[in-house]
């Protein structure tokens, strides 16, 4: 899998693009280009074929312009990738409430989600889960150096507000959001890999299992591997497959929230410090 790194571009140029502080306008007689159009075309290329297919040339072809014309607006692929990341992060719960608001142009906050902090974290987890499924190329980006754009910053603020005031320290608030989004990232990777397996191998899960079934009796020694045989059979019957990304997500999310609840409850019941 191709891995790209966020934050590789020139910092000044990336930040200028992210915050649109110095965008050029189209020249008379030239195609109506803009940073937004270029970024949207780049996202479409990555959605369709992955980051390995992304290049300035491919984006230019999609827009029907010459490759060099893109450099009037975007310095290069590293800076383009940063803006792509910031753009799609605006599609999460923060972005949806920002666009919808209260009907009067106001921004709805995570505190309006029913179910308390647990319900708010569920919304955040599910929005990030759907984001990865819409844009699988996000899983190909190592983002340990965050993109400091408006959507990434606002998304982080929105998610922190979901656990603000519930008894956690500021560092614990950050750690809780990192725990939830990290869990979603790992589970989504399994979901995307499972979805891509059929297209890349030419076999559905059912076809793969059918092809391997004649050999199972030779290796599935119940006497030698009794626990694996029992659990594997029960799992297959319950899930209809050896692995279900949706089940892994739902089961794991509740366990992650259970752990956070234990932390929060422990704080609430702890005696006051002297």
- What pLDDT shows up at residue 273? 59
Helix (H) or strand (E) holding 5: strand 4-5
Is residue 98 scored above 70 in pLDDT? no
pLDDT 10s digits, 20-37: 887 665 555 456 899 999
- Please give the Cα distance from 53 to 271 (Å, whole number): 57
Is 20 part of any domain?
A: yes
Token readout for 234 is 């029960």
Helix (H) or strand (E) holding 118: helix 116-134
- What pLDDT shows up at residue 104? 41
- What pLDDT shows up at residue 269? 74
Over residues 145-162, mean pLDDT: 93
Over residues 111-121, mean pLDDT: 88
pTM of the shown model = 0.87
- What pLDDT shows up at residue 233? 85
- Residue 73 near residue 35 (C-beta atoms within 8 A): yes
Is 247 part of any domain?
A: no
Q: What is the CATH number of the domain that holds 82?
A: 1.10.357.10
Query: Considering its fold, how many domains does the chain have in total?
Result: 1
- Please give the Cα distance from 137 to 198 (Å, whole number): 18
Cα dihedral angle (185, 191, 192, 197), rounded to 10 degrees?
150
- Quick one: what percent of the chain has pLDDT higher than 70? 89
Is residue 111 scored above 50 in pLDDT? yes
- Please give the Cα distance from 190 to 213 (Å, whole number): 23
Q: 172 or 241: which carries more pLDDT confidence?
A: 172
Is 27 part of any domain?
A: yes
Strands, E assignment, 155-240: none
- Residue 92 near residue 155 (C-beta atoms within 8 A): yes
- Please give the Cα distance from 22 to 10 (Å, whole number): 15
Is 179 part of any domain?
A: yes
Is 168 part of any domain?
A: yes
Structural domain range at position 64: 4-187
């Amino acid at each position: 899998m191709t891995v790209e790194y966020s934050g590789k571009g020139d910092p000044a140029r990336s930040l200028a693009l992210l915050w649109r502080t110095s965008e050029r306008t189209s020249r008379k007689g030239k195609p109506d280009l803009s940073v937004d159009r270029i970024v949207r075309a780049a996202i479409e290329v990555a959605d369709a074929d992955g980051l390995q297919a992304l290049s300035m040339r491919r984006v230019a072809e999609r827009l029907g312009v010459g490759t060099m014309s893109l450099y009037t607006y975007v310095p290069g692929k590293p800076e383009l990738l940063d803006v792509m990341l910031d753009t799609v992060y605006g599609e999460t719960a923060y972005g949806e409430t920002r666009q919808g608001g209260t009907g009067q142009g106001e921004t709805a906050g995570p505190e309006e989600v029913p179910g308390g902090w647990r319900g708010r974290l569920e919304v955040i987890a599910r929005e990030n889960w759907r984001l990865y499924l819409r844009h699988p190329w996000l899983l190909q980006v190592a983002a340990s150096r965050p993109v400091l754009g408006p959507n990434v910053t606002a998304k982080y603020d929105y998610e922190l507000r979901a656990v603000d005031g519930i008894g956690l320290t500021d560092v614990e608030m950050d750690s809780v959001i990192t725990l939830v989004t990290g869990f979603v990232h790992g589970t989504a990777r399994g979901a995307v890999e499972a979805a891509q397996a059929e297209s890349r191998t030419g076999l559905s899960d059912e076809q793969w299992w059918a092809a391997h079934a004649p050999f199972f009796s030779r290796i599935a020694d119940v006497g030698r591997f009794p626990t694996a045989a029992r659990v594997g059979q029960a799992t297959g019957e319950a899930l209809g497959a050896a692995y279900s990304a949706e089940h892994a997500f739902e089961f794991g999310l509740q366990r992650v929230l259970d752990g956070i609840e234990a932390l929060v409850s422990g704080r609430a019941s702890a005696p006051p410090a002297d």
